[in-house]
Structure 1
């Protein structure tokens, strides 16, 4: 447990590799909608640059992620896999394979706290395409959905980059795909010749380089409304940040709030989810997945896992009417 000051600043202990640019130029901004949320980028470049071409390139990256990994687009590759016959194998393109194998690696390291196969439970509880619900599902419905989930049911063939459909299993990349999309936009901007940039998709961010004034990209870590904690800001120099928490989505029934974070152990939303979990990592895809995993675990176990994996993590919990902030060793090391 950490007692935080009025305002705290997080600085990477080691700066990411970066070719310095002259402290000049213009900060351009672009924005749009994708993946059920908004996205924005800010990047440093000449006063005159082809913003339409940059926007088109970024949109193409986002469209690729949606086409392959959307749980909401019926003709996406993910939805096609979810509907495929039991015992069938499906060859995967490189982006889908990268996200799936990364998700399974985090699932293994977190003992299933992160699980990209909970699509059936997500839909059952009203957090997927079938739409919201106001009444919790029955015990029988939960048991049936749980039986079709489980990351250990997946079988992969690395030689052919294929995945087996064991029968009724539904992938859901909502805890990792948005972070992956952030990474793709960052790589795209660098490829176009704009190495200094800040990417934001629905609150998941990645920053690289510095602004024309010599400052890094400063961002505030998310905290739920109503908490008395001071603001924490981080310098995203070669870093990403993702936040998960119980305040984002859910519904209330008979005075009980059902948050959108589910666990296969019970097949239900967490009874006592953290208010917010933020993870800083060079890859936003992994920051996204680890933030989800740490949210599922009790705060003490989550903090121990973050320390084992050397993750920079902040865990905000509600305890007896007050809000408490826990920080991993790696995040504490970022304090000046």
Structure 2
């Protein structure tokens, strides 16, 4: 479809409930590094805030996510599970359980387009802790890694929050953990009494409330490099945004570009990935995971699934074509 040249504005159809604050105060900013990327927070509060204490709370939340879910930290809970003995059962803490069970639910809804069990394949293709590679792996290597991957191999015990390691299965939460971290920071700020905030971790964002000037947190949506799109701004009030694209990470070999997003069905990078997929959702964890899932699917299939799930989603093809879900178009002002 063609794009109008004017700027697009997206506004939540059903804005989240919010008790307006006096139009005064200060927008404070904090930032740092986590999960191999950066995080930043802006929030409204009195001119004098104990920023050091607030930052300590936020860092603790991020540290919890890393300690439980990092694919890169050898002593994380995720890495310990990945190296556990075949057939062993593991009681999972609530944060880990929430992310894993949500990831498996999305795997079912997307027919495996989102799969949190591809750690062995991600490492094999050079996108994990073992480091990058200059050439693709052999077909035999891919087949071997695929044989011990797949969300259907993972058994959960709902009553006890236990998961079984079937043997050699490697979890990877890179398509969902950053969004979950954003959600945790949002909840932490709300508990501290700062309901109006904008949070970002590695490009995934969540906003709530209004700024002292009475405006919501307007965010310009990410566009793929080299593709001309009409600027699009979204009012992040009770809303999160995540974008997945093949232009972020990858490697070249023999004239072909190998993107970091893998097709779970083939165990290899996508052959014809869209340039970018953006999803809007109240929960950043779900926006993050759905953006990954829709990237794996053909654009028409992705939008059909988005419509089925009532997701606000936009798919940008490499040729600049744009496809939008019904829920996305309903948000256009």
> 2:88 maps to what in 1?
88
1:323 aligns to what SS in structure 2? Answer: coil
> 1:176 maps to what in 2?
176
> 1:328 maps to what in 2?
325
TM-score by length of 1: 0.98
Are 1:204 and 2:201 counterparts?
Answer: no
2:331 aligns to what SS in structure 1? Answer: coil
Are 1:42 and 2:42 counterparts?
Answer: yes
> 1:18 maps to what in 2?
18
Q: Which runs of 4+ in 1 moved over 2 A?
A: 1-6
Distance 1:204 1:305 in 2: 21
> 1:269 maps to what in 2?
269
> 1:189 maps to what in 2?
189
- Once the 2 structures are TM-superposed, how far is the Cα of residue 158 of structure 1 from its aligned partner? 1.1
Aligned length: 333
Instruction: Give the conservation status (yes or no) of the 8 Å contact 2:247–2:259.
Output: yes
> 1:121 maps to what in 2?
121
Are 1:55 and 2:41 counterparts?
Answer: no
1:310 aligns to what SS in structure 2? Answer: coil
1:333 aligns to what SS in structure 2? Answer: helix
> 1:164 maps to what in 2?
164
Where in structure 1 are there 5+ consecutive unaligned residues?
Answer: none
Instruction: Give the conservation status (yes or no) of the 8 Å contact 2:25–2:212.
Output: yes
1:215 aligns to what SS in structure 2? Answer: coil
* RMSD (Å) for aligned C-alpha atoms: 0.7
Moved more, 217-226 or 27-36: 217-226
Where in structure 2 are there 5+ consecutive unaligned residues?
Answer: none
TM-score by length of 2: 0.99
Distance 2:4 2:18 in 1: 31
Q: Give the 5 Å matches for 1:130-145.
A: 130-145=130-145
Distance 1:2 1:103 in 2: 34
> 2:254 maps to what in 1?
254
- Once the 2 structures are TM-superposed, how far is the Cα of residue 2 of structure 1 from its aligned partner? 5.3
Distance 2:154 2:225 in 1: 39
Q: Deviations over 1:254-290 (max 9, x none)?
A: 1100000001211100001010000000000000000
Are 1:283 and 2:292 counterparts?
Answer: no
- Once the 2 structures are TM-superposed, how far is the Cα of residue 243 of structure 1 from its aligned partner? 0.5
Distance 2:264 2:179 in 1: 22
- Once the 2 structures are TM-superposed, how far is the Cα of residue 221 of structure 1 from its aligned partner? 1.0
> 2:155 maps to what in 1?
155
- Once the 2 structures are TM-superposed, how far is the Cα of residue 4 of structure 1 from its aligned partner? 3.5
- Once the 2 structures are TM-superposed, how far is the Cα of residue 6 of structure 1 from its aligned partner? 2.5
